[in-house]
Copies of this chain bind each other. A is one copy, B any other.
Amino acid sequence: MTSRMELLSRLAVENQTKMVLLVVDGLGGLPGPRGLTELESARTPHLDELAARGETGLLEMVDLGITVGSGPGHLALFGYDPLEFSVGRGILEALGVGAAVGPGDICARGNFCRWGEREIVVDRRAGRLPTERSRQILERLGREIPEIDGVRVTCYPSQEHRFVVVFSGAGLDERVTDADPQKEDRPMRWATARAPEAEFTARTANAFIRRVAEVLEGDPQVSSCLLRGFSGVPLLPDLKSLYRIRSAALADYPMYRGLARLVGMNILESGPRYGDLFHAVQAYWDDYDFFYVHVKAPHLAGEDGDFVGKVRALEALDEELNLLTDLQPTVFVVTGDHSTPSLLKGHSWHPVPLLFFSPYGRPDDAVSFGERVCARGGLGKIEASKLMGLMLAHALRLMKYGA
């Protein structure tokens, strides 16, 4: 735990205030053909009014020039130093497919593959097995390989030849190398333990691969599978014990619900549209102190390089925003977990626009919400992992440090 987190935890008190953190995935962008970014181009009267009444700034997600994935981006927004705490690829993938994982479980990403003679891996993707065919195989595996040496095995389908496997049982350890030769036409490489404590896990993983091969024997396309990115559930101190807040998540994709669960948020259900998510916040308003709301559409458009699509997604969001602001949260924050400029068709390192509203702010000159307005904003550039502490401060939930 960082000293800042310890300090905040020591100062935290309970009260009746409400906080809303609206995470617009991929919010930040870059100028398009007409010199304005997606957010600057979008017609967003509600966000603009909030920016005029509140404060603006930029979030540096991890460090200057560093592009973050959704895992570290969200950890930072939830107040965890993303260089100190990390979420492995296996666990992120597992969260992404909605796998149920708990403390002690180990997840890995699986690929169906094809072996030639003497276990030479001739196709690491089994001809990019169709998703539906993978799903059928996984159902069969579920019936035939419920456990290995007392370790429960659960597989979850993903796209095409990909799946996720979760090993649940006592004595598992994530320090296991990939069971994957990395290149084709090489002999199968088996999982090995990187620490003595992980030997049982490596043996279990290899036994699973052998069992898959037995079950699939005779199949002309699929011989067995490769396993990569072994990882357990990270030990994150939860928000309730850290800051005495009851927190809830409304998110449109399993990965974000999973990330929220890791930090101890309750996961609320709703439909996938902006309005569905925001109505759910209304429905649960009295039950929680802190609401994390995640919307994905702006990122998806950015990832497609669809400048106009991202503009539209932001405008559609703005139209529903009053469903949240009408609740009059004490602290209302709109930001993102990373930038996704259409120009780059993917996550980028650019700091993320931040809109911060509370009754205890010093409104700056902003009269609209956009990257360059935020770069001149009164809050300046803030480390993303410090945002949570600032929200607690404005919610009057932190005592004074020192007399």
Interface of A with B (CB < 8 Å)? 3-4, 7-8, 11, 30-31, 35, 37, 62-73, 82-83, 86-87, 89, 92-93, 341, 343-344, 346-350, 360-365, 371-372, 375-376, 378, 380-383, 386, 389-394, 398-403
Contacts and interface: CB of A to CB of B under 8 A. Distances in A.
Contacts of A361: 30
Tell me the interface secondary structure of chain A in the complex: loop
Contact of A402 (B35, B82, B343, B376): B82
A262 to B, nearest CB: 13
Contacts of A376: 376
Contacts of A66: 7-8, 11, 389, 393, 398, 401
A346 B399 CA distance: 11
A53 B343 CA distance: 17
A30 B361 CA distance: 7
A82 B73 CA distance: 29
A201 to B, nearest CB: 21
Given A381-B380, A389-B65, A390-B65, A31 B401 contact: no
B400 A37 contact: no
A403 B7 contact: no
Nearest to A91: B403
A326 to B, nearest CB: 23
B89 A403 contact: yes
B72 A401 contact: yes
Nearest to A64: B386
